[in-house]
Amino acid sequence: MAKTGIITKRIKGFYYLLTDEGETIECKAKGLLFKNSRFDNQIAVGDRVSFLFSEKDDVGLITGIENRRSFLSRNRVGIEVEQVIAANVDNLLIVASTQKPPFRTNLINRLLVAAKAGNVKPTIVITKTDLSSPKEIEALIDPYKDIQCDIIFSTTKSAENDQRLLDIFHDSVSVLTGQSGVGKSSLLNKLFPNLNIKVGAVSDKTSKGSHTTTFAAMHKIAENSYIIDTPGIREFGLWNLDNKNLAQFYPIICDFSYQCKHRNCQHIQEPNCAVQEAVKNGKIHKKLYQGYVSIHDSLKNS
C-alpha cells in the first residue's frame, strides 16, 4: 500500500520526505515519473507524493505526485526548462535588502508576476533596514506602495515587525526567495533560533552574497506551519509567459488593461491605451510601468 508525504528537500537525486506520521524518509523516484522531462526536476519541495517503503528497504520509492494547488516556477533561461522552486505554497516572501546586495526592482517585479501566475500570495520583505536611512528606504519601495502587497521592514538588529512575519507563517506554507546575501536564512534564524541555518558573509568588495544556502529545504515550525528556505537567485526567468499575457499577471497594470481600446493592447505604444494614460496621470507608478516594459521586451513574442 502506497503512503503519502511532503517533499522537504532534494539532494543529488535523493528526495527527503516527511510522512503523514511525522517520519523523515529518504527516497528515490520511479524512473517513469520523468518520462516527459529533459530534467528530473519535476518533483519539488512542497510536493505531496505517494511512496512505497517497507522496513527492509534502505530507501523508499516515490510512485506519484499529486496535482499542485500553487507553485513558484522559473524558466531556466538558455535551457528553457521549468524549474519548480516550491510547490503547494500559500505565501511567497520576496526578500530584498536595502543594500549589500543592492536592491533590484527587476527581480522583485518578476517575482510578483511569478507569484500571481502560480497562485501564491506575495509579501515584500525589506531586510537590513539598519543599513539605510528611512528616507532611502521609502524611495526604494515607492513603486510598490499601491500594489496591494504587504511590505514588511526587517532587520536582525531588532524584533520590530517580527509578529507580522509570524502571523504570515502561522498555519501556512511559505517560501522565501531573493538574491544571495539578502538575509533569508538570517531572518529565519532570528524568528526560529532552533533552525540554526548556516549564513554567509556578503563581500565588501562586490556586495554579493556567497550562495550559502545551496538547496531548497522545508522546515516544519509548528503543526500546519512550514517554511521553505531557498538558495539565492541571480536571475529569474518567467516560465510559460509570453509578452502578450504578461499584463494579466503584472501588478496594477492588470487592473487597467481591460479599459484599453484595442483588445490585444500590450500597453507599449498603442493609441487609446488606458495603461499608458494611467501612467501619465500618476495612477500607475512610472517605475512600476518601466519594469513592465523591461520584462515585456525580454519575453518572447509569440
Ligand X SMILES: Nc1nc2c(ncn2[C@@H]2O[C@H](COP(=O)(O)OP(=O)(O)OP(=O)(O)O)[C@@H](O)[C@H]2O)c(=O)[nH]1
Residue ranges that bind ligand X, judged by CB under 6 A:
127-128, 130-131, 155-156, 180-186, 199-202, 209-213, 231-232
Q: Which is closer to ligand X, CB of 125 or CB of 252? A: 125
Min dist. Cβ of residue 157 to ligand X (A): 6
Q: Which of residues 248-267 bind Zn ion (CB under 5 A)?
A: 260, 265, 267
Q: Which stretch binds Mg ion (CB under 5 A): 104-112, 132-140, 146-154, 210-218?
A: 210-218
Q: Which stretch binds Mg ion (CB under 5 A): 153-161, 170-178, 211-219, 240-248?
A: 211-219
Number of residues that bind Zn ion (CB under 5 A): 5
Q: Which is closer to Mg ion, CB of 47 or CB of 229? A: 229
Query: What's the CA gap between 252 and 149, in Å, rounded?
Result: 11
Is residue 279 near Zn ion by the rule CB under 5 A? no
Min dist. Cβ of residue 31 to ligand X (A): 32
Q: Which is closer to Zn ion, CB of 44 or CB of 265? A: 265
> Concatenated DSSP letters for the chain?
--EEEEEEEEETTEEEEEETTS-EEEEEE-GGGGTT-SSS--S-TT-EEEEE--TT-SSEEEEEEPPPS-EEEEE-TTT--EEEEEES-SEEEEEEESTTTTP-HHHHHHHHHHHHHTT-EEEEEEE-GGGS-HHHHHHHHGGGTTSS--EEE--TT--TTHHHHHHHHTTSEEEEE-STTSSHHHHHHHH-GGG-----PPPTTT--------S-EEEEEETTEEEEE----S--BPTT--TTTSGGGSTTHHHHGGG-SSTT--SSS-TT-HHHHHHHTTSS-HHHHHHHHHHHHHS---
Min dist. Cβ of residue 185 to ligand X (A): 3
Q: Which stretch binds Mg ion (CB under 5 A): 23-31, 37-45, 111-119, 184-192?
A: 184-192
Using the rule CB under 5 A, which residue among 273, 279, 288, 295 binds Zn ion?
273
Q: Which is closer to Mg ion, CB of 19 or CB of 212? A: 212
Q: Which is closer to Zn ion, CB of 145 or CB of 262? A: 262
Q: Which is closer to Zn ion, CB of 48 or CB of 285? A: 285
Binding site for Zn ion (CB under 5 A): 260, 265, 267, 273, 275
